[in-house]
């Protein structure tokens, strides 16, 4: 970090945190890309820049994109681990070794560590945390569980003062994708797995995912952060989804349930109750709405009640984002209470803004037109709408006797605010209209899936 403690800094002497990456696969590439593409945003939020100095790779000759220039690459881990300028080491190799040895080496040199390695954290967390604590540095691993949801951060900070009673997670995107596909299409498990593999949502060897082992590792990390309990993933009652047949899916559907693979941790007087199981979930349950490869974690705690975190679980970009968020958090810590600490409002420069006028917003609209039911009124209302190019998607009219007041409900196509306002003003001026038209906007039907 150079220079340091002499802020406030102009553009010319912006503070800098130097980092090194171990591994340049999918997630490593995502991290490099995010750091480069969002450089301006990150500098704006942090009041400092993040520079990648070295990237450990297996093969120097492989073609890589422009975010990983040849000059940064090395096959010698010491160039990352022993460089005194590098403050944060980001481990993205996966697997136990050599990741474990390299992270311990980084910590022993008082470097902070960010990792996405859930298997390593779930099985060797104890020795890693102990070494980090001894050296007074941090080890961040938000990306290890449900990358697209900052759930570890929420458990560590947002819910830090509450007593958590139960956590239920849909934490394996492959399982959820397969079960969801079986529900929607009636496909067999084997066919849904093949589809998931073709779509990139399942590995060629899917055992760790569909067997529940991946979810058990994540549950072990969630249990650590929620309850301060360390549990060996191998000790968790774990059941995969391979037993679930199309027949079961259909029978569950008829009974009002959908299948979900749930990872659950509860505190009980007899100790923690932990399990990973495919379960039938009532369709009206909030966890039943989690579609495709999305993840969700439902937290039940004493004071807050139920809170749900829902988002994309895996993939290079969500995982890369979680890694970069961990890096940014460490930079904030590094700068904390230096002169020129990062801004309290999350951005180092705030722009004063005025909202744009809403007249060019476009929505579908619900109109309730109050009319006297006389012949021709429908046509006159339709003409007003037509003159302002407001297309009608649906029209419902409760017909009573002629001359009686009725409510005519119109659903419009997506149309700019100004046009629908003008049309409504004209409608409200018609003789047969008995009061101001009720109008509400309709939210577009984007579901999460």
Candidate segments 16-24, 88-96, 194-202, 248-256, binder of a second copy by CB under 8 A: 248-256
The only residue of 14, 187, 208, 229 in contact with a second copy, by rule CB under 8 A? 229
Q: Please give the residues from 361 up to 420 whose contact with a second copy meets the rule CB under 8 A.
A: 361, 363, 366, 368, 394, 396, 407, 409, 411
- Write down the least CB distance from residue 311 to a second copy, Å: 3
The reply to whether 218 belongs to the active site is yes
- Residue 222 contacts a second copy per CB under 8 A: no
**What radius of gyration, in Å, describes the C-alpha atoms of the chain?**
28
What is the length of the chain?
449
- Write down the least CB distance from residue 116 to a second copy, Å: 14
Could you tell me how many residues of this chain bind a second copy (CB under 8 A)? Answer: 132
- Say if CB 42 and CB 325 are below 8 A apart: no
Phi, psi of 178 (to 5 degrees): -65, -50
Question: Which tokens belong to 105?
Answer: 């080496």
Candidate segments 196-204, 379-387, 424-432, 434-442, binder of a second copy by CB under 8 A: 434-442
Question: Which tokens belong to 443?
Answer: 């939210």
Cα–Cα distance measured from residue 428 to residue 271, given in angstroms and rounded to the nearest whole number: 67
Cα–Cα distance measured from residue 21 to residue 17, given in angstroms and rounded to the nearest whole number: 13
Q: Please give the residues from 109 up to 128 whose contact with a second copy meets the rule CB under 8 A.
A: 125-126
Candidate segments 94-102, 199-207, 229-237, 372-380, binder of a second copy by CB under 8 A: 229-237
- Residue 38 contacts a second copy per CB under 8 A: yes
167 vs 324, beta carbon nearer a second copy: 324
Residue 18's closest CA among 316, 338, 319, 330? 330
Cα dihedral value 89, 141, 239, 287, nearest 10: -140
CA angle 42-43-45, nearest 5°?
Answer: 65
- Write down the least CB distance from residue 70 to a second copy, Å: 25
- Residue 32 contacts a second copy per CB under 8 A: no
308 vs 378, beta carbon nearer a second copy: 308
- Say if CB 444 and CB 399 are below 8 A apart: no
Q: Please give the residues from 49 up to 108 whose contact with a second copy meets the rule CB under 8 A.
A: none
Q: Please give the residues from 137 up to 176 whose contact with a second copy meets the rule CB under 8 A.
A: 138-140, 142, 148-150, 153-163
CA angle 176-34-19, nearest 5°?
Answer: 115
Catalytic residue, chosen from 54, 111, 118, 218, is: 218
Q: Please give the residues from 305 up to 334 whose contact with a second copy meets the rule CB under 8 A.
A: 305-312, 317-318, 320-322, 324-325, 327-329, 332-333
- Write down the least CB distance from residue 157 to a second copy, Å: 6
Find the distance separating the first CA and the last CA of the chain, reported in whole Å. 42
CA angle 216-219-224, nearest 5°?
Answer: 130
Cα–Cα distance measured from residue 13 to residue 7, given in angstroms and rounded to the nearest whole number: 9
Candidate segments 91-99, 199-207, 302-310, 379-387, binder of a second copy by CB under 8 A: 302-310
- Residue 205 contacts a second copy per CB under 8 A: no
Neighbour-count burial for 114-128, b at 16+ CB within 10 Å, e otherwise: bbbbbbbbbbbbeeb
- Write down the least CB distance from residue 306 to a second copy, Å: 5
The only residue of 255, 374, 405, 425 in contact with a second copy, by rule CB under 8 A? 255
- Residue 441 contacts a second copy per CB under 8 A: yes
- Say if CB 287 and CB 262 are below 8 A apart: yes
CB atoms within 10 A of CB 336: 9
139 vs 377, beta carbon nearer a second copy: 139
- Residue 303 contacts a second copy per CB under 8 A: yes
**What 8-state DSSP symbol labels residue 269?**
T
- Residue 11 contacts a second copy per CB under 8 A: no
- Write down the least CB distance from residue 331 to a second copy, Å: 10
- Write down the least CB distance from residue 44 to a second copy, Å: 6
75 vs 185, beta carbon nearer a second copy: 185
Question: Which tokens belong to 214?
Answer: 């991946």
Catalytic residues: 218
């Amino acid at each position: 970090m150079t220079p340091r403690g002499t802020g406030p800094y102009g553009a010319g002497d912006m503070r800098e945190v130097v980092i090194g990456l171990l591994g340049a696969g999918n997630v490593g590439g995502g991290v490099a890309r995010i750091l480069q593409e969002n450089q301006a945003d990150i500098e704006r939020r942090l009041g400092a820049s993040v520079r990648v100095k070295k990237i450990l790779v297996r093969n120097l000759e492989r073609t890589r994109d422009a975010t990983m220039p040849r000059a940064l690459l090395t096959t010698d881990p010491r160039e990352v681990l022993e460089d005194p300028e590098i403050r944060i080491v980001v481990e993205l190799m996966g697997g136990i070794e050599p990741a474990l040895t390299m992270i311990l080496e980084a910590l022993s040199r008082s470097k902070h560590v960010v990792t996405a390695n859930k298997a390593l954290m779930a099985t060797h967390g104890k020795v890693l945390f102990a070494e980090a604590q001894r050296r007074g540095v941090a080890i961040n691993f938000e990306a290890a569980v449900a990358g697209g949801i900052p759930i570890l951060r929420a458990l560590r900070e947002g819910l830090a003062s509450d007593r958590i009673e139960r956590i239920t997670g849909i934490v394996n995107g492959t399982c959820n994708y397969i079960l969801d596909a079986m529900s929607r299409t009636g496909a067999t498990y084997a066919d849904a797995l093949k589809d998931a593999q073709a779509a990139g949502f399942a590995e060629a060897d899917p055992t760790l995912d569909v067997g529940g082992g991946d979810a058990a590792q994540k549950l072990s990390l969630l249990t650590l952060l929620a309850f301060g309990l360390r549990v060996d993933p191998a000790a968790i009652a774990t059941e995969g989804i391979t037993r679930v047949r199309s027949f079961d899916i259909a029978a569950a559907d008829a009974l009002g349930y959908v299948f979900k693979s749930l990872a659950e941790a509860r505190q009980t007087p007899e100790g923690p109750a932990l399990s990973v199981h495919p379960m039938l979930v009532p369709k009206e349950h909030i966890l039943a709405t989690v579609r495709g490869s999305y993840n969700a974690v439902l937290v039940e705690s004493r004071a807050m009640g139920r809170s749900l975190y829902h988002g994309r679980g895996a993939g290079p970009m969500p995982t890369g984002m979680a890694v970069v968020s961990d890096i940014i958090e460490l930079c904030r810590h590094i700068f904390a209470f230096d002169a020129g600490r990062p801004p309290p409002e999350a951005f180092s420069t705030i722009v004063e803004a005025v909202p744009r006028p809403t007249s060019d917003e476009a929505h579908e609209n619900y109109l309730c037109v109050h009319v006297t039911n006389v012949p021709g009124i429908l046509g006159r209302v339709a003409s007003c709408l037509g003159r302002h190019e407001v297309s009608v998607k649906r029209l419902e009219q409760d017909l009573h006797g002629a001359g009686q007041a009725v409510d005519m409900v119109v659903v419009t196509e997506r149309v700019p605010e100004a046009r629908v306002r003008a049309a409504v003003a004209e409608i409200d001026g018609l003789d047969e209209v008995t009061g101001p038209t009720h109008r509400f906007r309709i939210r577009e039907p984007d579901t999460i899936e």
